[in-house]
Amino acid sequence: MEWEPESVRAVLMDIDGVLTVSWKPLPGAVEALRRVRASGLRVALLTNTTSRTRASIADALTGAGFPVGAEDILTAPAATAAYLAEHCPGARCSLLNSGDIREDLAGVDLVDTGDTDDTGDTGTVPDVVVVGGAGPEFDYASLNRAFGHLQQGARLVAMHRNLYWRTDAGLQLDTGAFLTGLEQAAGAEAEITGKPAPAFFEAALARLHVEAGAALMVGDDIESDVLAAQRAGITGVLVRTGKYLPETHRDASGEPDHVLDSFADLPALLGLAPHRTDH
**DSSP-assigned states of every residue in the chain:** ----GGG--EEEE-SBTTTEETTEEPTTHHHHHHHHHHTT-EEEEEE---SS-HHHHHHHHHHTT----GGGEEEHHHHHHHHHHHHSTT-EEEEE-SS--GGGGTT-EE-------TTS--S---SEEEE---STT--HHHHHHHHHHHHTT-EEEES----EEEETTEEEE-HHHHHHHHHHHHT--PEE-STT-HHHHHHHHHHHT--GGGEEEEES-IIIIIIHHHHTT-EEEEESSTT--HHHHHTSSS--SEEES-GGGHHHHHTPPPP----
Res 157: pLDDT: 97
| 104 half-sphere exposure, CB direction, 13 A CA radius | 29
Task: Give ∠ CA 198-241-248 in degrees, rounded to 5.
Answer: 65
Res 112: pLDDT: 64
- Res. 44 pLDDT band, cuts 50 70 90: very high
Res 278: pLDDT: 47
The mean pLDDT value for 85-101 works out to 93
The mean pLDDT value for 66-85 works out to 93
Question: Residue 194 above 80 pLDDT?
Answer: yes
| Lowest mean per-residue pLDDT among 124-128, 178-182, 263-267 | 124-128
From 21, 158, 197, select the one nearest 29 (Cα to Cα).
21
Question: Residue 29 above 80 pLDDT?
Answer: yes
> What is the percent of the chain with per-residue pLDDT over 70, rounded to a whole number?
92
The mean pLDDT value for 171-190 works out to 95
Q: What average pLDDT is seen over the chain?
A: 91
- Res. 217 pLDDT band, cuts 50 70 90: very high
Per-residue pLDDT tens digits for 96-142: 999 888 888 989 999 964 544 444 444 578 999 999 999 999 999 99
Res 121: pLDDT: 47
Res 5: pLDDT: 82
CA distance 120 to 242: 36
120-123 contacts at long range (C-beta below 8 A, 24 or more positions apart): 120/144, 120/145, 120/147, 120/148, 121/148
From 45, 50, 75, 48, select the one nearest 61 (Cα to Cα).
45
CA distance 5 to 216: 10
The mean pLDDT value for 58-79 works out to 95
Question: Residue 183 above 90 pLDDT?
Answer: yes
Res 170: pLDDT: 85
Question: Residue 40 above 90 pLDDT?
Answer: yes
Give the count of beta carbons closer than 10 Å to the beta carbon of residue 10. 22
pTM of the model: 0.81
CA distance 120 to 166: 32
